[in-house]
Amino acid sequence: MIICVVFYNVAHRLPVIKYYNDLKTQAKNEQEENGVLTGALWRSALFNIVGRIKWYGFGILIIYVVTLSIFPGYITEDVHSQTLKDWYPILLLTSYNVFDLVGKSLTALYLLGNASVAIGSSFARLLFLPLFWGCLHGPEIFRTEVPVTLLTCLLGLTNGYLTSVLMILAPKTVQLLHAETAGIVMVLLLVVGLAIGSIVAWFWVI
């Protein structure tokens, strides 16, 4: 936590952060010149922001519903290996986190600019549910270490990449002054997805 606090304060000194803070200040000053944003106008602006980014938000929500319904509960409790024994869930957890980091970092190399594809890919991740179910109750070949590990890596990779893509694209759909609000709405929907996914995870037990 101390490291996070230090880095948070250091981040504001970075040139890229100063650049976007200056742009935000300029946009805010222009807004003030046009008139004070009253409560009614602010609510209207908020509804407009939500309307513009709703599909991005649904994409983020479904990403984390799928992810949390599988990880970490399914991986740590439901799959077993006679060869790896107690190391199996540890290796699966490590694989997921490594590929999640790789996915988040990939946007620095290639950013998917097509929002429809990104949102569609988020909903396509629902296929992970029957695939992981097959690894639990399907043919013997699907219940081995290799398919489960590959699916876990793919789960982490798509989670990291699509989360970053949607978080980058959503604020760009609104005015610069409202970009921060759009980001807050996206994070709120992400947290809702985490909560729903945690509840859905219990169905593996049922």
Domain ranges of the chain: 53-205
% of the chain beyond a pLDDT of 70: 93
What pLDDT does residue 38 have?
58
Lowest-pLDDT range of 66-70, 84-88, 185-189:
84-88
- State the average pLDDT over residues 64-68: 95
Other residues' Cβ atoms within 10 Å of the Cβ of residue 55: 19
pLDDT for the residue 36: 55
Q: Tell me the mean pLDDT in the region 172-194.
A: 91
Q: For the residues 192-199, what does the mean pLDDT come to? A: 94
pLDDT at 41 over 70: no
Which whole-number Å values give the CA distances from 61 to 50, 106, 115, 159, 193, in the listed order?
14, 21, 15, 11, 4
> What is the identity of the amino acid at 62?
I
Report CA-CA distances (Å) from 62 to 41, 43, 58, 98.
Answer: 31, 26, 6, 21
Residue range 182-192: mean pLDDT, rounded: 95
Q: How many whole angstroms separate alpha carbon 22 and alpha carbon 29?
A: 11
Q: Grade residue 137 by pLDDT with cuts at 50, 70 and 90.
A: confident
Give the C-alpha distances (Å, rounded to integers) separating 118 from 56, 185, 204: 9, 18, 28
In Å, how far from its chain's centre is CA 174?
20
Check residue 188 and give its pLDDT.
Answer: 96
Between CA 164 and CA 26 the distance in angstroms is: 26
- Angle ∠(104,193,184) on CA atoms, nearest 5: 70
Q: Which of 64-73, 74-83, 95-104, 143-152 has the highest mean pLDDT?
A: 95-104
Both structure tokens of 112: 């998917």
Residue 80 has pLDDT above 80, yes or no: no
- Close Cβ partners of 179 (under 8 Å, ≥ 6 residues apart): 24, 171, 172
pLDDT (mean) for 11-18: 88
pLDDT given for residue 25 in this prediction: 83
Residue 204: pLDDT above 60?
yes
Asked if the model's pLDDT at residue 91 lies above 70, the reply is yes
The band of 78, judged by pLDDT with boundaries at 50, 70 and 90, is confident
Q: Are 70 and 132 in contact (CB under 8 A)?
A: yes
Q: How far is CA 149 from CA 97, 115, 132, 153, 160, in A?
A: 12, 29, 11, 6, 17
**pTM for this prediction:** 0.86
Residue 175 confidence (pLDDT): 85
